[in-house]
Amino acid sequence: MKENSWKYGQTQNTLILERNWGKEFISTQSVRRVWVRMELHKYKSLKIAIFVPYIEGLGGHLRVIARLASYLKSKGHYIEIFTQRYNKDDTLGDFKNLKINILKPQSKSFAPFVFLLKKVKKFDVVVVGAFPATLGTIRNKPTFYICYTPKRDFYNFKQFALQNSSTLGKFNILLKNLMFKRIDFIAAQKATVLSPVSETVRRRSEKFYKRGGTGIIYCGIDFKDFKSGKYEDYMLIPSRFAPAKRVDMAVEAMGYVKNKKIKLYVVGDGPDRAKIERLAKRHKNVKLFGGISDSELRKLYSNALAVIYLPVSEELGLVPIEAGASEKAVIGANRGGLKETVINGKTGFLISNPTPKKVAEKVDFLAKNRKTAIKMGKASKVYTKKFDWKNIMPEWERLIYLAYTQYNNHR
């Protein structure tokens, strides 16, 4: 594809993407995202390798990869996934329909070396996402780098991670920084196309990688899987139990909620499980569900009064999008990607410097003002429809083609 055959769309919600002989840069307009418009007709099917650190659990990045791989396969592309660890009994069923290659050694300690040294042959494009799989850009070309965020422990999240880690954990963080931070930076530079998943991530990428990326392509969900239901007397917080998610703050907030009819349903699991369980025992209005099926979670979404989500600094966050698809307002933290998925005062409330008392105030407000909760929920559904996979996946496919054509045109 020649430079002058590219098409660029500009609307109220786009940035201008320009090309300067392979160097990418984005205009400084205060707008939300880029859509790269390319001619897709007459393209051949591609052989695509996808590097994933591990396939276990139901994490957001795994949902993205499973959805992307399934979509590309449905469009006639040949897909293989390369991962170091795969637990087929504890992850999304979509992976069972894909070819999975297990990389060795399977020890988590060796993961950065495994992906750094792995070179695949006879593939048209290699897709990478999430450290250390992102190190695969160094030995493979062309590559499409899904930038969920510059690795937190190396950059903006380092101090928080150190403060919330054991002595051994602190040692591991500092050792990884010493060994892999520079390599991680190089890997970002080596990527043929790098695409941030939000404006928040684009700014971080520009700051830490000195590379803003080729357009912002949001992550999303399948809206058809979510339904709106009743507005019952419970708030929902679905989240991994980890310090950065601040599930403990939501639980503690229930001690300050004045309306004792309102309960908090907590769904998830993780390293902070014991702490969350101890806190929950202090409050009769808190119920723990642990890990549940997707269908059970969607049912809880559909009948909740509203959804609480308080991460320290989320890159984007699928929870507010899932809440919107279920026609629910969100009580969230006024930081990071939530400012892109929640409109404060219209589709929910964003709390600056959140505390349990501040969260409780918003819970009581929505409990007292049901009509406002319903109005916000309806507005949330309208606003978050742009995060529907059916609107996003074609753009991801275009950027994969962009990586392929850019590399082959400049060989």
Number of domains in the chain: 2
**Average pLDDT of the residues in 13-41:** 36
For the beta carbon of residue 27, count every other beta carbon within 10 angstroms.
Answer: 13
For the beta carbon of residue 242, count every other beta carbon within 10 angstroms.
Answer: 17
CATH of the domain at 180: 3.40.50.2000
Reported as a single tens digit per residue, the pLDDT across 356-370 is 999 999 999 999 999
What are the structure tokens assigned to 247, written together?
């599930």
Nearest CA to 235 among 377, 75, 30?
A: 377
Could you tell me which residues are beta bridge partners of residue 52?
Answer: 83
Question: What's at 154, amino acid-wise?
Answer: F
Region for residue 42 given its phi and psi (left: phi exceeds 0; alpha: psi -120 to 50; beta: otherwise): left
CA distance 283 to 285: 5
**Which residues contact residue 78 at a Cβ distance below 8 angstroms, ignoring those fewer than 6 apart?**
45, 46, 47, 48
CA distance 59 to 138: 26
- If asked whether residues 292 and 314 sit together in one domain, one would say yes
Nearest CA to 63 among 38, 92, 34?
A: 92
| H or E element in which residue 399 lies | helix 389-409
SS3 label, residue 320: helix
- If asked whether residues 35 and 175 sit together in one domain, one would say yes
pLDDT at 324: 96
Question: What's at 43, amino acid-wise?
Answer: Y
Residues 346 and 384 sit within 8 Å (Cβ to Cβ): no
For the chain, give me the number of helices (H) and strands (E)? 13, 16
345 versus 23: the higher-pLDDT residue is 345
CA distance 14 to 17: 9
- If asked whether residues 263 and 314 sit together in one domain, one would say yes
Residues 81 and 53 sit within 8 Å (Cβ to Cβ): no
For the beta carbon of residue 282, count every other beta carbon within 10 angstroms.
Answer: 11
pLDDT at 43: 62
- If asked whether residues 201 and 282 sit together in one domain, one would say no
Residues 39 and 67 sit within 8 Å (Cβ to Cβ): no
Report whether the peptide linkage leading into residue 105 is cis, meaning its omega lies within 30 degrees of zero: yes
24 versus 374: the higher-pLDDT residue is 374
Domain housing 53: 3-220+389-409
- If asked whether residues 320 and 189 sit together in one domain, one would say no
- If asked whether residues 120 and 257 sit together in one domain, one would say no
- If asked whether residues 156 and 10 sit together in one domain, one would say yes
Nearest CA to 365 among 302, 323, 308, 403?
A: 308
- If asked whether residues 306 and 367 sit together in one domain, one would say yes
- If asked whether residues 241 and 216 sit together in one domain, one would say no
- If asked whether residues 269 and 206 sit together in one domain, one would say no
Q: What predicted TM-score, i.e. pTM, was given to this entire model? A: 0.78
Residues 219 and 149 sit within 8 Å (Cβ to Cβ): no
Residues 47 and 122 sit within 8 Å (Cβ to Cβ): yes
- If asked whether residues 142 and 175 sit together in one domain, one would say yes
Residue 381: pLDDT band by 50, 70, 90 thresholds? very high
158 versus 396: the higher-pLDDT residue is 396
Report whether the peptide linkage leading into residue 142 is cis, meaning its omega lies within 30 degrees of zero: yes
- If asked whether residues 150 and 272 sit together in one domain, one would say no
Could you tell me which residues are beta bridge partners of residue 304?
Answer: none
Reported as a single tens digit per residue, the pLDDT across 89-114 is 777 778 888 999 999 998 888 999 99
